[in-house]
Amino acid sequence: MSAQPESYVTPDGRTIGGVMMEMKNITLRFGGVVAIKDISFDIREGEIRAIIGPNGAGKSSMLNIISGFYVPQEGEVWFNGARRAPLRPYEVAGQGIARTFQNIALFEGMSVLDNIMTGRLTHMKSGLFSQALWYGKAAREEHENREVVEKIIDFLEIQNIRKTPVGRLPYGLKKRVELGRALAAEPKLLLLDEPMAGMNVEEKEDMSRFILDVNDEYGTTIALIEHDMGVVMDLSDRVVVMDYGKKIGDGPPEEVRTSQAVIDAYLGVSHD
């Protein structure tokens, strides 16, 4: 990566900045099972970074490390130029890293609006007592945050379901609401764990459009896990390829696609 310039402009005119997040020699074990073995890669400001690989390659585990749900046994996580101490997931969220989950984790009993409002929690600073009394600052804050949320609802084209309890929504819309909640945090880094899993072609196109728009309009850095190779090739600036917990490829999509190791991992090759 040192070969690449400090910042550059992509063919479609977006500016990719310096390194925002760097994973150095990460190893993660569950008991005796090694989920991730000595992986290093970085995420640059403003880029869409994809992590791909067959099932069980350790992609979700990697995302869970970035978002603080797992703490690796070895290796360092660097964020914004400083080494990050092991943090709890809610502290990571407070640093401006938002995420979605592979198996949608929404608040099923709450409305779409309330769900997305929870994404604003890290931006709401008024204290418990001012909140409880609902005076001055707390009330103003609620209105300001409500405006941000309404913009996101417009952006994701879900105005007609804003009052619907999330539990009633079909799968594709749930995925969209979950993206909305992550966006509400106005994150510096957005982590998407298989945002298009289980979607039909049309839904995939919608989601791809939203992801590109978020990146383009707000300059949000995005790291995503995806199985659909076509989608990955279209969306991402750079791709990390994982297989059995190891990194087997890293680079621009067209370069990765032609790599022999990647083709072997995806098509299967006898290892003896």
Partner 1 sequence: MPDQLLYGIEAAVNGLMAGVLYALVALGFVLIFKSSGIFNYAQGVFALFSALTLVGIMEGQVPFAHLINSIFGTEVHHFGWHVPAVLAIAFTVLVMVGLAILVERYILRHLVNQPDIILFMATIGLAYFMEGFGDLMWGSDIKTLDIGIPQGGSFWIEENTAWLGGEGFYGFFIDRLDIVAACVAAVLVVGLTLFSQYTKQGRALRAVADDHQAALSVGISLRFIWVLVWSIAGVVALVAGIMWGSKSGVQFSLSLIALKALPVLMLGGFTSIPGAIVGGLIIGMGEKLFEFAIGAPFLGGATENWFAYVLALLFLVFRPQGLFGEKIIERV
- Specify whether the CB–CB gap between 227 and 56 falls below 8 A: no
Count residues binding partner 1 (CB under 8 A). 40
Q: How far is the CB of 244 from partner 1 (least distance, A)?
A: 26
Contact region with partner 1 (CB under 8 A), list: 72-80, 126-134, 221-229, 231-239: 126-134
Q: How far is the CB of 107 from partner 1 (least distance, A)?
A: 4
- Specify whether the CB–CB gap between 94 and 186 falls below 8 A: no
- Specify whether the CB–CB gap between 59 and 51 falls below 8 A: yes
Which of 34, 87, 124, 173 touches partner 1 by CB under 8 A?
124
Query: Interface with partner 1 includes 119 (CB under 8 A)?
Result: yes
Strands (E), the chain: 8-9, 15-16, 19-30, 33-44, 48-52, 74-79, 82-83, 97-99, 189-193, 221-225, 238-243, 246-251
Specify the residue for token string 């964020």: 79
Which of 56, 86, 136, 167 touches partner 1 by CB under 8 A?
167
Residues 67-106 that bind partner 1 (CB under 8 A): 67, 69, 88-91, 93-94, 98-99, 101, 105-106
In terms of phi and psi (left: phi > 0; alpha: psi -120 to 50; beta: otherwise), the region of 102 is: alpha
Residues 169-228 that bind partner 1 (CB under 8 A): 170, 181-182, 185
Count of Cβ atoms closer than 10 Å to residue 218 Cβ: 14
Residues that bind partner 1 in the complex, under the rule CB under 8 A: 67, 69, 88-91, 93-94, 98-99, 101, 105-110, 114, 117-122, 124, 126, 128, 131-132, 134, 138, 141-142, 165, 167-168, 170, 181-182, 185
